[in-house]
Amino acid sequence: MSMQQSSKNISVAILGGYGSFHHLAANKFFSAKNITLVPFETFLELFIAIKTNSVDYAVVAVENTIAGSLAVNYPLMITADVNIISELWLPVKHNLITLPGTALSMITEIHSHPVAILQCHDFLEPLINKGVKIVETSNTALSVKYIHDTNALNVAAIGSIVAASLYRLDILAENINTNIINNTRFLILSGSSQKTKDQFGENCKEFNKATVLFSPITSEGLIYHLFKLLNDGCCKITHLLSLPVSNSLRSQQFIADIVYNDISVFENIMCLAITYNYQVKMLGKYIHMQQQMCELKELQTIEEV
């Protein structure tokens, strides 16, 4: 789902530098908008920016078909009190990137984000067995930038083809993900409910998915009862993540992505959930995107902040 054409310039927070997969996701979603990308090195800084309205929107990775949930982002999302306005599935192709003239036998270190490293474990395992050191960093694109800035012949990075092109580096090995199908789900976030209404319509009839935080009030808030309600209402849970409850040892809260056919039925179930001893917090309603295969187009220009 792309946003409607507008001449107004908007700021979009992304993780890492230019050439990161957050950058690619932002350009894909906001393709019809005039945007200014605002990179952050950590998710914490990104969520503070969206919470304080320092940026208009944020693009945040939350799930990968190889690495699973990026669970660390959900507590930050709750604390920042953001609104989820859309989702985007992006195919991710990792590459081993080096300075020109670097041979595989010369590499002593490989730098990248922990999730990217996990997505390439089959490729990395024989190199690790030969003594190559894996260095975890805050972002794939910043790892590529590090090689460019330090002129390190013995260091490689895992990142996108766009990052390699941006920093004029070589791709020593292409598509090194463990699985050919490697998709990352990004959420598009707004810090203002009014902004969501302005851009997407307060009662968009196309909305058929919601992300909800459920917090059991007592030990009687059994998850089975809630799941039965959803099943009876033809609602499908597409993603479920348990989160620890601070200051309590008796229960856990959890976040569920729920696809529904009828908004009235779904809203009635949310009301009924309260009678089953749950607190219910709606994090966002939007259109369900079933891992759409959006092609990664090579970026002709890289926008500057």
* C-alpha dihedral, 169 to 111 to 67 to 128, nearest 10°: 110
As a whole number, the mean pLDDT across the chain is 86
pLDDT value at residue 192: 66
Q: From the options 3.30.70.260, 2.40.50.70, 3.40.50.2300, 2.70.170.10, give the CATH code of 209-286.
A: 3.30.70.260
CB 166 within 8 A of CB 111: no
**The model's pTM:** 0.85
Residue showing tokens 């490989």: 110
pLDDT value at residue 296: 37
Please give the angle made by the CA atoms of 78, 84 and 87, to the nearest 5 degrees.
Answer: 125
Contacts of 258 (CB under 8 A, 6+ apart): 209, 210, 211, 212, 230, 235, 236, 237, 238, 266
Say which amino acid occupies 248: S
CB 260 within 8 A of CB 209: yes
The domain made up of 95-173 has a fold known as D-Maltodextrin-Binding Protein; domain 2 (3.40.190)
The domain ranges of the chain are: 6-92+182-200, 95-173, 209-286
pLDDT value at residue 294: 44
Counting as low any pLDDT under 50, the low residues of the chain are 1-6, 194, 201, 249, 291, 293-305
Cβ atoms within 10 Å, residue 210: 22
pLDDT value at residue 302: 39
pLDDT value at residue 247: 59
Tell me if domain 95-173 and domain 209-286 are identical in fold: no
Under CATH, domain 6-92+182-200 is a member of which superfamily?
Periplasmic binding protein-like II (3.40.190.10)
Residue 87 host element (H or E)? strand 83-91
What is the C-alpha separation between 21 and 115, in angstroms, rounded?
12
